[in-house]
Amino acid sequence: MPKISTDPGRHALNGPTMGTRWSALFHADAGLDPAPVQAALQAAVADVDALMSTWKPDSDLMRLNRTPEGVRVIVPARLAEVLDLGLRIGTASGGAFDIGMGDAARAWGFGSEPANAEAMRAAMATARRPAQEALEVDPLAGLARKHAPIALDLNGIAKGHGVDRLAKTLQGFGITAFLVGIDGEMRASGLRPDGMPWTVAVEMPDPERRAPHSILKLADAAAAGGGHYRHYVTLRGRRLSHTMDPTTGGPLRSSPASVTVVARTCAEADAWATALMVLGPQAGGELASRLGLHALFLIREAGVIRTHAVGALFDSPMVSAAGREGLVRA
């Protein structure tokens, strides 16, 4: 059930979406009725799910997946926008972010069906064309056409887009200072009433407990993280990452414990976090540096977490380390 918690002027709203929960924190005049805001936020994320879910056969994305190659079809504007962004980040990342890994994700059990050994072998044997070659999208006209077989999957960007939709919904109510999120993907706008940035925790990559590794202070920015320490499947005693490697058609075999990216929008941060997970700290760090991205790699080595930071943000007072004695400068 959706929940509404209100102190005078402070509103903390949340509700279910995409197998997890969304949240929105903001301050407003005491006379604001939060019920219409709650309903609009819930409708916004429900629309994202209806457009992009791979769990719902009747979603617009799954209908596009069933479309024959060579046929130009109309797609909803918001879906075209996200497809286009995914293709552009795929190109910029050299194919590390690929929205055409749906068959692999499904084969390895990261979907509505259990893992299937025959499907795994097929996914790994498939000669893949990068999504940016297999799919053509015209976001202005709202048109898409497949040039080659492709199983589209937007799980590496849809939640981030959902967070951006939450932000736009609040802005539609004239609310300009807020913190919204879905499952750890966060976007901040403006400042808190005390004039300070919003605080967001970068989680320690520990599957057994939830604890902060560091604290980000955000204003007019979004942060998203990728990692295999919570989202994984176990096959034959091995824990496998939910992030697919486009070069193999299977889960990443070697990757950072997590990557956090700060960007202008949450969709961009979400997709780039996935891309940098695939590339790893060396190649990913070099690309992030060239593109001016802000990224924090957490790498597990011999049971110890090592950090690799890229971008001025992670060398600034806007990032603190969370320790037993509270917050200290990183």
- The pLDDT tens digits for 136-169 are 999 999 999 999 999 999 999 999 999 999 999 9
- What pLDDT was estimated at residue 316? 60
- What pLDDT was estimated at residue 212? 81
Q: State the Cα angle at 47 between 106 and 22, rounded to 5°.
A: 80
- What pLDDT was estimated at residue 319? 57
- What pLDDT was estimated at residue 126? 87
CB atoms under 10 Å from CB of 150, counted, come to: 23
Q: State the Cα angle at 266 between 130 and 179, rounded to 5°.
A: 165
What is the share, in percent, of the chain residues with pLDDT greater than 90? 69
Of the listed ranges 60-64, 119-123, 271-275, the least confidently predicted one is 119-123
- 60-146, which class in CATH? mainly alpha
Domain locations in the chain as residue ranges: 60-146
CB atoms under 10 Å from CB of 287, counted, come to: 20
| 302 band by pLDDT with thresholds 50, 70 and 90 | confident
Residue 298, pLDDT above cutoff 70: yes
Residue 102, pLDDT above cutoff 70: yes
- What pLDDT was estimated at residue 56? 95
Of the listed ranges 15-29, 59-73, 250-264, the least confidently predicted one is 250-264
The values of phi and psi at residue 147, to 5°, are -105, -10
The 10s digit of each residue's pLDDT in 204-220 is 877 677 778 889 999 99
- What pLDDT was estimated at residue 318? 53
The position carrying tokens 């499904």 is 106
Between the alpha carbon of residue 9 and those of residues 146, 217, 256, the distances in Å are: 50, 22, 41
CB 216 within 8 A of CB 199: yes
Of the listed ranges 27-36, 58-67, 76-85, the least confidently predicted one is 27-36
Q: What average pLDDT score do residues 163-176 get?
A: 97
Residue 327, pLDDT above cutoff 50: no
Highest mean pLDDT among 28-37, 57-66, 120-129: 57-66
Q: What average pLDDT score do residues 178-202 get?
A: 95
Structure-model confidence comparison of residues 272 and 319, the more confident one: 272
| 109 band by pLDDT with thresholds 50, 70 and 90 | confident
- What pLDDT was estimated at residue 210? 77
- What pLDDT was estimated at residue 326? 27
Residue 230, pLDDT above cutoff 70: no
The position carrying tokens 């939060």 is 34
Where are the strands (E) in the chain, listed by range? Answer: 3-7, 10-17, 20-27, 73-74, 135-138, 143-146, 178-182, 185-189, 198-203, 212-218, 221-227, 232-235, 238-241, 244-245, 250-251, 258-263, 294-301, 304-310, 319-323, 326-329
Structure-model confidence comparison of residues 227 and 188, the more confident one: 188
CB atoms under 10 Å from CB of 208, counted, come to: 6
- What pLDDT was estimated at residue 328? 24
User: What's the distance, CA 234 to chain centroid?
Assistant: 22
